[in-house]
Amino acid sequence: MDNSLSVNIITWNVATVQPPPPGKLATLFNMEADLIAIGLQEVKSQPADRVYASMYEDVWTSAIRGAMYKNDYVLVHSIRLVGILLSFFCKRSHLISIQNIETSYTRTGLKGYWGNKGAVSIRFNLMGSSICLVNSHLTPHDDNLQKRINDYYSIIDSQTFQSEKISSILDHDLVFWFGDLNFRLATNSFSSKEIINLLNSNDTEGLLLEDELNQVMFQNSAFTGFKESKISFKPTYKFIPESEQIYDEKRRPAWTDRIIHKIFVDSKKSYEEITCKNYQSHPDMNFSDHLPVSGLFHIKVKGGSVPQVSFDPISPWSSDSSAKIVYHLPANFEPSPYHWIAFFLEGFTSLNDYVTWQWVPGKHLTDRPGTYETEVSRGALRNPAKYVVAYMSEKSPYSILGISSTFEVTDLA
């Protein structure tokens, strides 16, 4: 199996605005990427919005799915902390390769009591390597550099994971950290008018020398070992919304929206690689006072295939009848009484979209080692359509351990 993959990372402070139309939203993404992660900040989070999101999918994740469904992406998982939202998608062909998914979050607002600032993360294993995605919204405003540094260490110290040999963000082989990091130009370096004048002359080099995040990484005050591709775009904050890139002179323009990455280094040879192929802002997405920023990365992982549960071909059956499904567990596979099988419509776009489910294991077929037969009760799938069956992990967030080929449930016999 090829151990080279492409990853598209997007960060955007949406300043409580509603999603743009799907066609417009789709321009943010590189639809050839194997994996896509989008981190949003300041998603509208009034009480009514939070109640709605607790019962239904939030409007932003729904809109993103709508923009991507034609390109065969599946939502693996999303996590939200007040206005901080991280959604992780992959091409359907990579679903079984993504295992051991975990999430975490950190509140840093109001000294850790409120989640208007902080971070959310999704970690997973992919073909022998561990990857962690972190979307954060750090303390804003000039003169708060030390608070942003403190936020970083609060996030690092508070987020823990249960995967073997991996207990923190920095233990992962590959880390992508992105979001509205809120780092500004050094205090007393340039006024707002001076910055805008330099930008009108396309002079960014002197400004970037005063960028706090660059200084912090260089001095190892925070984000030690992280790297960033060269910035070739103008500051992404703060614009007058829906203007033609007109900065609001009440704030000093700054590169607040960033994507940085890190490879774990130890005494052994590192197999992983990260190469940034494109790092850009999106000036045409001018709905917020921030512009979105995206990066396209090529990564190399350790490689290797993931043992998977396989299914015998499933014959069509009537929605008014029962059926039998036969599945085979790979060698050295340890089944759990909490494993389950999920029934999805063909072409599903989220792991949460299963139609029905049931526990495993089924009846052991003694003439076929490692093979089980489970019965689907009459009426379990009432709607005639094409479906697939997936063997699911025992812990939430769930991952797919095996998936069947498409089968059909017909109308009443």
Q: What are the pLDDT digits (tens) for 347-358? A: 999 999 999 999
pLDDT at residue number 130? 95
pLDDT at residue number 112? 55
Q: How confident is the model at residue 96 (pLDDT cuts 50, 70, 90)?
A: very high
Does the 310-410 domain belong in CATH 2.60.40.2840? yes
Q: Which fold has domain 4-300?
A: Deoxyribonuclease I; Chain A (3.60.10)
Full-model pTM: 0.95
| Residue 206 pLDDT > 60 | yes
Give backbone dihedrals phi and psi of 157, rounded to 5 degrees, phi first.
-75, -30
Residue ranges covered by each domain of the chain: 4-300, 310-410
| Residue 78 pLDDT > 80 | yes
Report the distance separating Cα 148 and Cα 167, nearest Å. 23
**pLDDT tens-digit map of 42-59:** 999 865 555 445 555 889
Q: Which class for 142: exposed (0-12), middle (13-18), buried (19 or more C-beta within 10 A)?
A: middle
Give backbone dihedrals phi and psi of 97, rounded to 5 degrees, phi first.
-75, -15
> Across the chain, which distance is largest between two alpha carbons, in Å?
80
pLDDT at residue number 268? 59
Segment among 83-87, 93-97, 111-115 with least mean pLDDT: 111-115
Q: Please give the average per-residue pLDDT across 182-187, as a whole number.
A: 97
Name the nearest CA neighbour of 182 among 86, 252, 275: 252
Mean residue pLDDT across the chain: 93
Q: How confident is the model at residue 269 (pLDDT cuts 50, 70, 90)?
A: low
